[in-house]
Amino acid sequence: MNKLLEKKNPAKHIKSFGFLALLLLLPVIFTAVDFTYGITISCFVAIYVIAVSGIDIVFGYCGQISMGHAAFYAVGAYGSALLSSKLNIPIIISMFIAPVIAAILGALLAYPASKLVFHFLSLATIAFGEITYQLILQSPGGITGNAVGLATKKVNLFGFAFNTSFRFYYLALAFVLLLLAAKTNLVSSRVGRAFVAIRENTHAAEGMGVNARKYKVIAFATSAFFTAVAGSMYAHFVGYISPDTFTNKQSVLFITMLLFGGTASKPGPIIGAIAVLLLNEALRSMENMQMLVYGFLLLIVILLLPGGIFGMIKDLFYKYTHRGGKENAKS
């Protein structure tokens, strides 16, 4: 009966279509108000939403701490760039192959690290990130361009080049919608329920027949795939990559976005990516102070907003709706 009422009530679908229409018209609106830089920022938001959503799978839903996801971001960026430039593989295909490689690396890292918990797991992922950074910085034969960096090609699909921010925005939006839909299906499935069980209590989950190591590996591999997709998008959007982008600072940025927006939620990574990226733009003239600001943000979230911005909004909405219900009951 409830399902029938949901089908007859189109309000939810109208909101979804309205929001999608706004996203589709966003570049046009920015162009109309002569704020084309807003389109560029929107492209970066889309890239970060994908990366942070990937980290949310392993951290928010599975409860595994990773501070080295900049490594998978780098694998996606350099992998896609090298596959397309050195082997002449079509860019759109290389943008799929590189994340698959990252997913395999994520699984290989997760298998021995699955027995580690808390700060030990965090240190292992930091070490992996540093190893990846050093390999990029001092690559065999200088294939990555080492400290100089590497020029990348623009995405070209069926002869249509995504060589402007306006065009790339729609490609990025398609990737975001596709991957967020995949994430929603994953966390709502049996696999997602196993993730949550492991996050809440690993021993209890294993006692109920959940193979904790198996699902931790799946979580890491899936998370690495998402982050690598974001990395490949970044590489072909910017047109140039260098090791400076893939330091531990990038991993801290991802975690800050996730915690600030809210973990284990659909809107959390989106809110966090938008909020922190806008703050990052505001602090562009104070580049040396960015890490300090991120540190303060993390402290604020941990102490005052443990559920992030989205968690705060949910709490306020819950209090408001239940207060209204109590007042009606009293009257």
DSSP states of 27-57 as a string?
HHHHHHTT-THHHHHHHHHHHHHHHHHHHII
Q: What are the backbone dihedrals phi and psi of residue 142, each rounded to the nearest 5 degrees, phi first? A: 65, 30
| Per-residue model confidence (pLDDT) at position 68 | 93
In 3-state terms the chain splits into helix, strand, coil percentages (rounded to 5) of 80, 0, 15
Residue pair 235/78 in contact by the 8 Å Cβ criterion = yes
Is the pLDDT at 251 greater than 90, yes or no?
yes
Distance CA 251, CA 270 (A): 17
Contacts for 55 with CB less than 8 Å, ≥ 6 apart:
66, 69, 223, 226, 227, 254, 255, 258, 269
Q: What are the backbone dihedrals phi and psi of residue 172, each rounded to the nearest 5 degrees, phi first? A: -65, -40
Minimum mean pLDDT among 62-71, 100-109, 180-189, 275-284: which range?
275-284
Q: What are the backbone dihedrals phi and psi of residue 305, each rounded to the nearest 5 degrees, phi first? A: -130, 65
Distance CA 321, CA 310 (A): 16
Contacts for 38 with CB less than 8 Å, ≥ 6 apart:
26, 30
Is the pLDDT at 76 greater than 70, yes or no?
yes
Is the pLDDT at 11 greater than 70, yes or no?
no
Q: What are the backbone dihedrals phi and psi of residue 210, each rounded to the nearest 5 degrees, phi first? A: -85, 125
Q: Residue 294's pLDDT band (boundaries 50, 70, 90)?
A: confident
Task: Give the SS3 label for residue 188.
Answer: helix
Average pLDDT, the chain: 89
In sign, the C-alpha dihedral spanning 153, 157, 159, 165 is negative
Candidates 245, 248, 280; CA nearest to 77 is 245
| Per-residue model confidence (pLDDT) at position 289 | 75
Answer whether 0.85 is exceeded by the pTM.
yes
